[in-house]
Amino acid sequence: MSIGKGDGAQAGGTGASPASAGGGTPGGGPRGPGSRIEFRLDATSGVPTYLQLVHQVEHALRLGYLKRGDQLPKVRDVVASLAINPNTVLKAYRDLEVKGLAAGRPGQGTFIQATLGQVALPELAGLHKSLLGWLTTADSAGLDEDGIVALFTSALRDFYERRGGTGDRRGAASGETEGVA
């Protein structure tokens, strides 16, 4: 486990760097060199903060905003723009490390190491088509949109529970016992 500064948070020199903290720059905040994405926070979603960060990185990977070798935003910059606990950012980055998506380089930052398993385009098209078929069936059975969503969510949960919970979507109760500060 990296302790403290191993994540590119600036080792404090004499005085803070003049980069504004609590940024007021339009567009959401300070941009360190090399951070290609910006995090945002949805306070009302009920999803824990660190998970939101993890999801945003995974989403960015899927859509191509992030590629192998890109640097994730510095912990300090994320903290300054979102006003969240630095330990939360560290936790999110560690989560990505555990999943093998990112790796920290001491003194430099956290960098993307791998991409999410890409599904080939023809496969994606096939999945899309079979999904539409299922939806047609569900619709003719009488389920409305919310019913479909609820059914799907429940089945999704069951599926991952049976699988054993890597990439668990359960939020803060992730099943790890946190013992050491």
Strand partners, 110: 104
9 lines the binding site for another protein (CB under 8 A): yes
DSSP secondary structure code for residue 175 in this structure: S
25 lines the binding site for another protein (CB under 8 A): no
| Region of 32-40, 75-83, 113-121, 124-132 interacting with another protein (CB under 8 A) | 75-83
Please, what is the minimum distance in Å from the beta carbon of residue 5 to another protein?
Answer: 8
Q: At what angle do helices 86-98 and 49-63 cross, to 10 degrees?
A: 50
CA distance 47 to 6: 27
Judged by beta carbon, residue 42 or residue 123, the one nearer another protein is: 42
Which of 41, 135, 143, 148 is the binder for another protein (CB under 8 A)?
Answer: 41
Residue window 105-144: x/- pattern of binding to another protein, with contact defined by CB under 8 A: ----------------------------------------
Q: Give which of 22, 1, 25, 140 is closest to 77, Cα–Cα.
A: 22
32 lines the binding site for another protein (CB under 8 A): no
Classified as helix, coil or strand, 110 is strand
Which of 20, 25, 130, 136 is the binder for another protein (CB under 8 A)?
Answer: 20
CA distance 62 to 122: 17
Strand partners, 109: 105
CA distance 21 to 18: 9
CA distance 82 to 18: 18
Which of 85, 108, 118, 153 is the binder for another protein (CB under 8 A)?
Answer: 85
Q: How many CA atoms lie within 13 A of 9 on its CB side?
A: 17
Please, what is the minimum distance in Å from the beta carbon of residue 75 to another protein?
Answer: 6
43 lines the binding site for another protein (CB under 8 A): yes
49 lines the binding site for another protein (CB under 8 A): yes
Task: Tell me which residues touch another protein (CB under 8 A).
Answer: 1-5, 9-12, 14-16, 18, 20-24, 41, 43, 46, 48-49, 75-76, 79-88, 90-91, 94, 170-181
